[in-house]
A and B are shown apart, each in its own frame.
Chain A
Amino acid sequence: MNNSLAVVLIASGVAYGTPLLFAALGELLAERSGVLNLGVEGMMLVGAVMGFWADESFHVPTGIALALAIVVAALAGAVMAAVHAFLVITLRANQIVSGLALTIFAGAAGLSSYLGNDLQLSDKPARHAFGPLLPKALQNLPVVGPILLGQNILVYISWILVVGIGLYLTRTRPGLNVRAVGEAPSAADTMGINVTAYRYAHTLVGGALAGVGGATITLALTPQWVSGITGGSGWIAVALVIFAFWRPGLCLVGAYFFGALQAVAPELQARSISLGPTVLWTNSLPYLMTVLVLVVAASGTARRRLGAPGALGTAYVREAR
């Protein structure tokens, strides 16, 4: 039963979806404060490579090495986000162009690949990798075993984050302030909220989460470093935030859905089932489905009712009110 296609697909949807979930939650925080960061793909790659490097370099027990690797990945992602934050918040550069610049700078042909080559990380398996957290007996339970109980600790951390961010944005003072900053920065400023500080903080945390998402790939999902290993996950995460109408709970649903789509091709190949005419079709499915979902989410009345933060993508200039 646990080997049936549906269970395996859902279980791998959760596993493949976790990097997307971390990155999407990070992007959600940044966007809720009004900062659009299209550099997710770049930040994920830098987090992925630095996390992998930390895992290789520290000679400490597995648990500590992995914890350090996640911290390093988060820091690396935050440093990348800081570049974007400085450009768009302090220097008021165009957020779209700056985000693209970040992806080009850090992405598959840039810093991440430079670091990977310079630190010689390619072509070897990770020394320590995340494995299932709970005891074997629980993992073997029918259905819930593989899907819920057989996952690694990062999956459980991401669940805590979903709940935590949801509560933060709706039930705490700083969370409400962030939403004010994202919707109407001048009103927030009038209330005495420090717009710049909020935007910096959330962009940096967003970058840290994208870094963790990247490290989830190189330390848990496919424990190795290959240049450009994210393969567009960062972009799917950006799309996911739109699809989720800027809500953390829906991010989780969307991430697992896209995760399952990414898992479809390898899983069907492993079982030598062909879905439709070609490999081409199954491989393109995650990208095409993302496009489709974007169209559905963006078209018509949906956008007006559950729209984006009002000030998303615009710099706040106090004098220019």
Chain B
Amino acid sequence: MVAAAALAEVPGHSAAGAALDIEQVSHAFDIDGAELPVLTEVSIAVEPGEFVALLGPSGCGKSTLLRLVAGLDKPQSGSLREDEIRITRPHPSRVVVFQDPTLFPWRTVWDNVALGLEAQGILTSQRHRVDAALDLVGLSDFRTAYPHQLSGGMAQRVALARALVNDPKILILDEPLGKLDSLTRITMQAELVSLWQRKGFTTLLVTHDAEEALVLANRVVVFSERPARVKADIRVDRPYPRHRGDPYLADLRRQILGLLGLDATW
């Protein structure tokens, strides 16, 4: 990628990942007075700079866990800590990229990417970071475009730039590639890995695609059906870039699908 070093060249830019401790977290939703448990005693310790994929059947509570990590909701019990500091509210050091790009349709691409800096009141002195982030995702030519003029893949790239411009210590990805076509998806998987390698942030990726988890992550945490419990915590010790056809990964994939009860279908 041509714009590879764009962000790293920005002075004062030193992003490194943060450690994330999820300890005995349980959570439940209140639906018309009935309690619906979604997470039961989930504990995951994430090392700084790790790429952890959270894999599980759809609707099992993975996204809820991400909202807790982001600080958007508070857990019923248990605790979440970023570098030993308890997470109580959202903070730009932990940025979420959602399944839908959720770009603000009334803002241009540039203004969307600038959102975080503007919200923190530092945009006037840090405008170059917006340009660098747009460069990084290869969308500099679209800075004045409006979201409705972008394709799905481009919109998701803008969402990624909007997250990265804040120099997150933890990047939280909630199935960000779930709605893209398979070709765009493969391209963006490769981009994600190279961004993560270059910047060193801790990454948490929710997905229900075992292959995606294995191609991208250091570690794959497999969840059970709702209420989610950690079913397995698998280390993926393979160098990048990884090949989809790698027999080692194929073997792991079979194991994971087995854990999810889908071994017969593969």
Co-complex (A, B): no
Task: List the interface of chain A (C-beta within 8 A of B).
Answer: none
